[in-house]
Structure 1
Amino acid sequence: MIELGKIQKMVIVRRSKIGVYLNSKNDEIMEEILLPKNQVSNEMQLDDEIDVFVYKDSEDRLIATIKTPKITLGEIAMLRVVDITGIGAFLDWGLEKDLFLPFKEQLGKIREGDYYIVGLYIDKSERLCATMKISRLLEDQSPYKENDRVKGIIYSINKELGAFVAVDNKYHGLISSSEFLGACDYGDNVDVRVKQVKPDGKLELSFRKEAHNEIDDDSDKIYKKLRYRGGSINLNDKSSPNAIKLEFNMSKSAFKRAIGRLYKEQKINITEKGIELK
């Protein structure tokens, strides 16, 4: 069976003046698809099995290519806008025919030359199109559990909620605003820890290590900063979260845990003005 939008193995079944025709291996239905002449090498022979990507040409006919596109069905990628028209935008995905991004699948203002994170889907007319509405392409149930390390791409940022992550380009993930701390930006690839698997299966993510390890790291960071700053900093457990974030790029709760550790180890004093080395 020929699968639109995917890289697949196909067999050369016959030649013609315009290229070679391919069919899926062991496919009882003799559905043939053209690989254009300009992509046929001298080494290609009848009955050879080759890897091709299947999409539609400008006349909506199925066609094969040996080129590898920048995105395939079910994947997410950051693509550049090469043209904006009255019906939508067109993206460079590495093939002769640009990828269509309909108006209804856009989020915010689109500008030519800029890069946007999109997913690839098949529309009602059986055409491959791009969408910026990544969330609907992601799954809730992942194989991950608490404290697993995962990788993903940030596809949306909400100042109140945090950064939305497509884990493995497949699963829902969120770095909460308290954890995000402005450490990354839209389109960044991240390596994070699963902080919690929510009841609905979605993943709550964190840049930080497990609690017992992050206290060690935070304490060491604060201690080194104190030494660098001459032994004192005008911040303590009563300081504002924004001031702590600006100085240490950590949440207030993490800061309080860390200075508590340093105080118990008798490395610092906590005063009304801030903290200082003993």
Structure 2
Amino acid sequence: MIQIGKINTLQVKEALPFGFHLTSGDPDDPLVLLPNENNTRSLKTGEEIAVFVATDETGTLVSWTTPPLAQCGETVILKAVGVAHFGAFFHWGLNKDLLVPSGMQESPVNVGMNYVVHIYYDENTQRVLGATKLHKFLAESAPYLNEGDSVSCMVYAKTELGFKVVINKQYLGLIFHSDAFKKLKIGDETDAVIKTVRPDGKIDVALQRVDKAGRQSLEEAILDDLKNHGGISTLTDKSQPEEIYAHFNVSKAAYKKAIGALYKQRLITIDKNTIRLV
């Protein structure tokens, strides 16, 4: 069965003046057109080929030998290249732009800006479309995720509370402004950790571990760094947040707490310009 909006392995049935007809081998499936302008290969009858299949404006199945940036069911960062009253168009690697209908837009789209777009197949229009209203396709709870789990996140919106993110390309979550110690913008991808799973299943995310294990890990990293640099570091509690993040990938507040804990344990000394290993 042909999967619209995905890569299919099909067979070349016949050559046409303007392209090729491809078949799945299933007599119930329609033929798929591979126009010459969508083809980057030299083909012969009977050959198998992997192609991306979608539909044109008339509903005809059309294919491309070069796949787009994402297939149906995937979420990806795309740039807006056009806007009309009925929707916005995004470049997604094909010679035909992806339409995000107005009703599927989280907020008005501006040409030239990047957005996080979910690709889907619309049964009503029989077209491959995009959406920036991600909550229609991605769940806001994940039964297998627990507090402290390491995850990857993609920022897709900014609100008064913080940054909405896609977790592991499958679920939705939120990074509160108080947990966003580095600059974030739409489309940014970052490593993170599950901070809280609320009673309703919704997920809060932090950019660093805030539990005991996270604090101990940072303290160990600071000690290792001192040992590797002759027992001295110029990275103090007076250093700029950007310097601390570049070195340890944590906030300045977390770093200050860690060196304070090490000082109380008498493992380091601290002066105005340096910290030293005891």
The answer, yes or no, to whether TM exceeds 0.5 is yes
For 1:60, the aligned partner's letter is G
Match of 2:14 in 1: 14
Contact 1:215 / 1:254 at 8 angstroms: preserved in 2? Answer: no
CA distance in 1 between counterparts of 2:95 and 2:237 reads 62
Contact 2:163 / 2:175 at 8 angstroms: preserved in 1? Answer: yes
Per the TM alignment, residue 53 of structure 1 is displaced from its structure 2 partner at its CA by 0.9
Match of 2:30 in 1: 31
Task: Please give the secondary structure, in 1, of the residue aligned with 2:30.
Answer: coil
Q: In the comparison of the two structures, how many residue pairs are matched?
A: 260
Per the TM alignment, residue 130 of structure 1 is displaced from its structure 2 partner at its CA by 1.7
Residues 38 and 177 of structure 1: is their aligned pair in 2 closer, same or farther, counting only changes over 3 Å?
Answer: closer
Match of 2:157 in 1: 156
CA distance in 1 between counterparts of 2:45 and 2:195 reads 54
Q: Please list the CA deviations of residues 125-156 of structure 1 after superposition, one character each: whole Å capped at 9, or x if unmatched.
A: 22222211122221333644443322231112
Residues 254 and 115 of structure 1: is their aligned pair in 2 closer, same or farther, counting only changes over 3 Å?
Answer: same
Task: Please give the secondary structure, in 2, of the residue aligned with 1:12.
Answer: strand
Match status 1:170 vs 2:170: yes
Per the TM alignment, residue 24 of structure 1 is displaced from its structure 2 partner at its CA by 2.1
Per the TM alignment, residue 215 of structure 1 is displaced from its structure 2 partner at its CA by 4.8
Mapping 1:37-52, distance limit 5 Å: 37-40=36-39, 43-52=42-51
Match of 1:189 in 2: 189
CA distance in 2 between counterparts of 1:180 and 1:42 reads 47
Contact 2:115 / 2:186 at 8 angstroms: preserved in 1? Answer: no
Residues 21 and 214 of structure 1: is their aligned pair in 2 closer, same or farther, counting only changes over 3 Å?
Answer: same
For 1:129, the aligned partner's letter is L
CA distance in 2 between counterparts of 1:42 and 1:277 reads 62
Residues 54 and 258 of structure 1: is their aligned pair in 2 closer, same or farther, counting only changes over 3 Å?
Answer: same
Task: Please give the secondary structure, in 2, of the residue aligned with 1:82.
Answer: strand
Q: Please list the CA deviations of residues 15-36 of structure 1 after superposition, one character each: whole Å capped at 9, or x if unmatched.
A: 33332212225x2414211111
Per the TM alignment, residue 74 of structure 1 is displaced from its structure 2 partner at its CA by 1.2
Match of 2:230 in 1: none
Match of 2:121 in 1: 122
Contact 1:2 / 1:23 at 8 angstroms: preserved in 2? Answer: no
Residues 232 and 212 of structure 1: is their aligned pair in 2 closer, same or farther, counting only changes over 3 Å?
Answer: closer
Structure 1 residues not aligned, in runs of 5+: 234-243, 270-275
Task: Please give the secondary structure, in 2, of the residue aligned with 1:113.
Answer: coil
For 2:78, the aligned partner's letter is L
Per the TM alignment, residue 108 of structure 1 is displaced from its structure 2 partner at its CA by 3.3
Residues 51 and 232 of structure 1: is their aligned pair in 2 closer, same or farther, counting only changes over 3 Å?
Answer: closer
CA distance in 2 between counterparts of 1:62 and 1:7 reads 13
Match status 1:77 vs 2:42: no
CA distance in 1 between counterparts of 2:100 and 2:120 reads 10
For 2:191, the aligned partner's letter is D
Residues 247 and 79 of structure 1: is their aligned pair in 2 closer, same or farther, counting only changes over 3 Å?
Answer: closer
Residues 156 and 30 of structure 1: is their aligned pair in 2 closer, same or farther, counting only changes over 3 Å?
Answer: closer
Of 114-123 and 69-78, deviating more is: 114-123
Task: Please give the secondary structure, in 1, of the residue aligned with 2:11.
Answer: strand
Match of 2:207 in 1: 207
Task: Please give the secondary structure, in 1, of the residue aligned with 2:135.
Answer: helix
Per the TM alignment, residue 207 of structure 1 is displaced from its structure 2 partner at its CA by 2.0
Per the TM alignment, residue 60 of structure 1 is displaced from its structure 2 partner at its CA by 3.4
CA RMSD of aligned residues (A): 3.8
CA distance in 2 between counterparts of 1:67 and 1:142 reads 36
Per the TM alignment, residue 66 of structure 1 is displaced from its structure 2 partner at its CA by 0.9
Contact 2:153 / 2:189 at 8 angstroms: preserved in 1? Answer: yes
Contact 2:78 / 2:114 at 8 angstroms: preserved in 1? Answer: yes
CA distance in 1 between counterparts of 2:193 and 2:114 reads 27
